[in-house]
Amino acid sequence: MNAAIRNSWIVAIALFALLFGSISYVQFFAVDSLNDNPSNQRQLVKNFCSSRGPILVDGQAIAESVATNTDCKYQRKYNDPLLYAGLTGFFSKWSGKYGLEDVMSPELTGNSNDAILERIAQIFTGEQLQGRSVELTIDSKIQQMAFDMIPDGIGGSIVVNNPKTGAIIAMASKPSYDTNLMATHNKADFDASMAELVKVPGINLFGSSAYRKLYSPGSVFKIIDTAAALESGKYNKDSILPNPAELTFPGMDYALPNYAYGQCYTKDKASFAFALENSCNTPFASIALDLGQDAITAQAEKFGFNDNSLGFPSAVEGSRFPGSQGVLDDAALAQSAIGQRDVLASPLQIAMMTSAIANGGTQMAPNLVKTVRTPDLKTVSSLKPEVLRQSTTPEIAAQISEWMVSVVDNGIASAAAVPGVKVAGKTGTAELGDGLNNAWFTGFAPADDPQVVVTIMMPQVDVPTGAQLTSPNASKLFKAVLKK
Amino acid sequence: MSQLLTVAKPRRNTELLLLILALGVSAMANALVNLNLGRTFDNDFFTQIAILSGLSLAFHVVLRFKAKYADPVILPVVVALNGIGLAVIHRLDITSGDTAATRQWMWTSLAVVAAITVIWFLRDHRILRRYTYISLLVSVVLLILPLVPGISAGNVNGATVWISLGPFTFQPGEIAKITLAIFFAGYLSSNRDLILLAGKKIGPLQLPRMRDMAPMIVAWLASVGVLVFQRDLGSSILFFGLFMVMIYVATSRVSWIFIGLALIAVGGVAAYQIFPHVARRIDVWVNAFDPAYIGADYGSFQVVEGLFGLANGGLMGTGLGQGSPDKLPVANSDMIIAVIGEELGLVGLFAILCLYALLIARGFRAALGTRDAFGKLLAVGLSFAVALQCFIIIGGVTRLIPLTGLTTPFLSSGGSSLLANWIIVALILKISDAARRPIDVSASSSPIEQLSPIDATQKEVPSP
């Protein structure tokens, strides 16, 4: 009988050995895969309910963690959310994190690589990690001004930046919304808000239209054509370009007309200055047909088109010049060269393009974070201007800059002028049909020592509305930033 | 009949020392809960420690008088488990606003008093053998009670295993575990010779006669009945496993194991085919991480949340009171192991498992040492039942096997379980007392043994 008891004992111990094995598996070997399981809310809740550092603009918190008396100890609160929704993004228990809340998350939680010593100390002291504060390059007055310039009901964007450092001074877009609705701890409230918000036409819940949305750039693309022409060596500043009333293509019944509003019809030959001042279409279409698709594509890419790698403030939608995707026929190439057809650009991309011209051909990486500080105000990192790419030569940039000044002084962007300051600019009117256009202005000032680039984009407006919302507003923004 | 020689020492002082250690563990666990959840050390804390100390010291003193030679490790192990369980239930109450800990304190007191009563009044465990068939009757009644309209508490979490008496609910199946073990031990110790000798031999296997199979069929039917009518898969497996181990120990025949396994296979396949709730359990187990199963009613939410909690705890745990068991359904009963694993980590769970293994080992040791077949069978049956119960519920929580609702002995919130397990401990202590008590006491029950030194010598020498 005792032998059988011993055997039963072995069975009982074998059962326990299995338990030791399964606990080891769950609590040691499978820990990472269980923590990463998409159904596992614990890690998110753990991060979600802890305190994060604030996001600051001019020393004021636009996003901060507020202590609650519930199980979830902190609630993320956004101040002036409509103004900053596109920059901060939001941090939601129910949908994840976006915008700066996503990109700057390691700093905001205190988990960034430079906090390694603090984290080691924390193992011994048991203190909670302290999030860093993130101060933005944004100027709250300019941001508010830009935001107010966009009429409600028009999904426009305005980007104001420093061409030498890449620092963004203002980045506003509409329609905006209250990000606090996304940050709520209450799932039912979140779902209800989400259901309402997705119905708003043109809304971008997960970032700003300024860098998440692409539009036909229209004539502002002619800056790239000009750079390509000068770089090719076939053209120089004194070149005379053909300027027919329309461009026809053999074997097609399509004709590309010249720009209707302006002085283009007065000449059948044009200088670069005249063609840019009046935004004539046929000279630039001719340049593109002459240089060929590859040259224009290469130049567009040197200014940042066809690049999806930019991750700031969060994934930037890459602007597209379709020349890289296959052979365009002549008509398509001609239309692409004037920023129509399948050419698409984000307002941020156009701002970067103009910044490269303003900065002597060197394109700086756009940047939003001025300083990162620990809770005891020690600066961990501060803005380091970073060269993104060389878009063109300093000489060509200087030449284009000079022509852009005459666009404001003598041409169709005259409303952007600021008394006593040399302003360089270029407008764009991308036709969408039904008399509606994407109205653009992009330019910089002062032209001899550029401090600020202003890019304004108003989609789906008629020509007079577009003209009224772009250049005059640019003038006001230049004045405000330059304090003139 | 055989037994092991043990040096006849009471070792009650060892028990006292270990008991102080166990009480220290319980007090520390409770203190940590209070500290980590920002509670003050109010009167409750000290009263509770005083109650647990008082109860266990009373038990210790009773053992000194009534079961002097009882195993010294069992009581401290059980006090430690019960104390940790109380601390964890208290911790869960703080988060959920429940008052389960108060009820658990009440039931602990009642259970310990019941166990002391058993030690005090049960002069010798062999007396229980007289109640073999009464135990069978009581078992049947206990198992049928939850199905009787009027006192049945109805379907709770998918199983019909509760009765309600006034303000209290009770799970009679927990007590049936004990009465069934008494019945099997009594029946098998009386009939083992018959079962052993009769029957055809086929190759190395000696098959039992059909009529000797009767009790096994009864046990099988009882288990299937529990499964079908009470929808309680865990208890069903527990009862049948209890019977299988007891008949194997009674006969030392492996053939019983094969017959038993065959019956399990037949019953299992049939249950899977016929009863949707059984098939559902298996499906949920296999597809636990499928979001469709996590979200479904009676789905895998519970087990998957438990696993996430265990993973969150990792090796060292989050610390008592620092985990997030608020997401876990039935955290203080079925899933208490997941809570302990999250907050005390793999290290803590291993410690708990070691305590169980120790308790079960001491139970088997009592079975090896005691001199009578009834005592051996009862000790093995009860110890194995505790082991199997731990395996079913902890294996279920860690997804080793499908999760079925069983309490974790001494840890889970639940009065019936505490009461039953403390009575089991009292019985094992009593049997270990008999096992370790020196033979040649003058008050021996059999005058023949006193007159016949040869018999007595034979009984003292272990069989090879």
Interface contact B360, partner A, CB < 8 A:
yes
Contact B387 A30 (CB under 8 A): no
Among residues A194, A216, A218, the alpha carbon closest in space to that of A206 is found at A194
For the segment A306-353, what is each residue's pLDDT rounded down to a tens digit? 888 887 766 777 788 776 667 788 888 888 888 888 889 999 999 999
Does the structure show a pLDDT above 70 at B289?
Answer: yes
Give me the pLDDT at residue A94, please. 83
DSSP B463: P
Q: Which of residues 281-300 of B touch A (CB under 8 A)?
A: 289, 291, 294
For residue A16, which residues of chain B lie inside 8 Å, CB to CB?
A: 353, 356-357, 360, 387, 390-391
For the segment A382-416, what is each residue's pLDDT rounded down to a tens digit? 889 999 999 999 999 999 999 999 999 988 888 99
Contact A34 B463 (CB under 8 A): no
State the average pLDDT over residues B9-16: 91
User: What are the backbone angles phi and psi of residue A111, rounded to the nearest 5°?
Assistant: -100, 10
HEC states along chain A?
CHHHHHHHHHHHHHHHHHHHHHHHHHHHHCHHHHHCCCCCCHHHHHHHCCCCCCEEECCEEEEEEEECCCCCCEEEEECCHHHHHHHHCCEECCCEECCHHHHCHHHHHCCCHHHHHHHHHHHHHCCCCCCCEEEECCCHHHHHHHHHHCCCCCCCEEEEECCCCCEEEEEEECCCCCCHHHHCCCHHHHHHHHHHHCCCCCCCCCCCHHHHCCECCHHHHHHHHHHHHHHHCCCCCCCEEECCCEEECCCCCCEEECCCCCCHHHCCEEEHHHHHHCCCCHHHHHHHHHHCHHHHHHHHHHCCCCCCCCCCCCCCCCCECHHHHCCCCHHHHHHHHCCCCCCEECHHHHHHHHHHHHCCCEEECCECEEEEECCCCCEEEECCCCEEEECCCHHHHHHHHHHHHHHHHHCCCHHHCECCECCEEEEEEEEEECCEEEEEEEEEECCCCCCEEEEEEEEEECHHHHHHHCHHHHHHHHHHHHCC
Q: How confident is the model at residue B14 (pLDDT cuts 50, 70, 90)?
A: very high
Least Cα separation, residue A38 to chain B (angstroms): 9
Told to judge if A219 belongs to the known catalytic residues of this protein, a careful annotator would answer yes
Residue of A13, A15, A22, A37 to mutate when probing chain B, most B C-beta within 10 A: A15
Interface contact B356, partner A, CB < 8 A:
yes
Q: Would you put residue A70 in left (φ > 0), alpha (ψ -120 to 50) or beta?
A: beta
For residue B361, which residues of chain A lie inside 8 Å, CB to CB?
A: 9
For residue B326, which residues of chain A lie inside 8 Å, CB to CB?
A: 71
Q: Which of residues 303-342 of B touch A (CB under 8 A)?
A: 304, 307-315, 324, 326-327, 341
Interface contact B248, partner A, CB < 8 A:
yes
Amino acid letter, B214 = A
Q: Under 8 Å CB-to-CB from A429, ≥6 apart: which residues?
A: A218, A219, A259, A261, A279, A437, A438, A439, A440, A463, A466
Considering only alpha carbons, which residue of chain B is nearest residue A30? B311
For residue B350, which residues of chain A lie inside 8 Å, CB to CB?
A: 20, 23
Among residues B129, B261, B275, the alpha carbon closest in space to that of B192 is found at B129
For residue A1, which residues of chain B lie inside 8 Å, CB to CB?
A: 1-2, 249-250, 252, 373, 376
Does the structure show a pLDDT above 80 at B209?
Answer: no
Distance, in Å, from the CA atom of A353 to the CA atom of A221, rounded to the nearest integer, reads 9
- The domain locations on chain B are 125-436
| Other residues' Cβ atoms within 10 Å of the Cβ of residue A165 | 18
Q: How confident is the model at residue A470 (pLDDT cuts 50, 70, 90)?
A: very high
Domains recognised in chain A with CATH numbers: 212-369+387-482 (3.40.710.10)
Whole-number Cα distances in Å, B198 to B191, B202, B210, B257: 11, 13, 10, 17
Among residues A76, A121, A122, the alpha carbon closest in space to that of A101 is found at A76
For the segment A243-291, what is each residue's pLDDT rounded down to a tens digit? 988 888 877 777 888 887 778 888 889 999 999 998 899 999 999 999 9
Q: What percent of chain B has pLDDT over 90?
A: 46
For the segment A169-198, what is each residue's pLDDT rounded down to a tens digit? 999 999 999 999 999 888 889 999 999 998
Interface contact B394, partner A, CB < 8 A:
yes
Residue of A27, A29, A43, A46 to mutate when probing chain B, most B C-beta within 10 A: A27
Average pLDDT, chain B: 85
Q: Which of B304, B341, B376 sits opposite A5 (nearest CB)?
A: B376
Q: How confident is the model at residue B449 (pLDDT cuts 50, 70, 90)?
A: very low
**Neighbour-count burial of A326, counting CB atoms closer than 10 A to its CB (0-12 exposed, 13-18 middle, 19+ buried):** exposed
State the average pLDDT over residues A419-447: 91
User: What are the backbone angles phi and psi of residue A389, rounded to the nearest 5°?
Assistant: -165, 160
Least Cα separation, residue B101 to chain A (angstroms): 21
Q: How confident is the model at residue B457 (pLDDT cuts 50, 70, 90)?
A: very low
Distance, in Å, from the CA atom of B397 to the CA atom of B335, rounded to the nearest integer, reads 7
Instruction: Decide: A247 and A286 in contact? Cβ < 8 Å.
Output: yes
Higher pLDDT, B433 or A320: B433
**Residues, chain B:** 464
Give me the pLDDT at residue A455, please. 96
Chain pair A-B, CB pairs under 8 angstroms: 134
Does the structure show a pLDDT above 50 at A73?
Answer: yes
Among residues B464, B421, B342, the alpha carbon closest in space to that of B175 is found at B421
Give me the pLDDT at residue B20, please. 96
Structure pTM? 0.65
Considering only alpha carbons, which residue of chain A is nearest residue B378? A5
| Other residues' Cβ atoms within 10 Å of the Cβ of residue B371 | 16
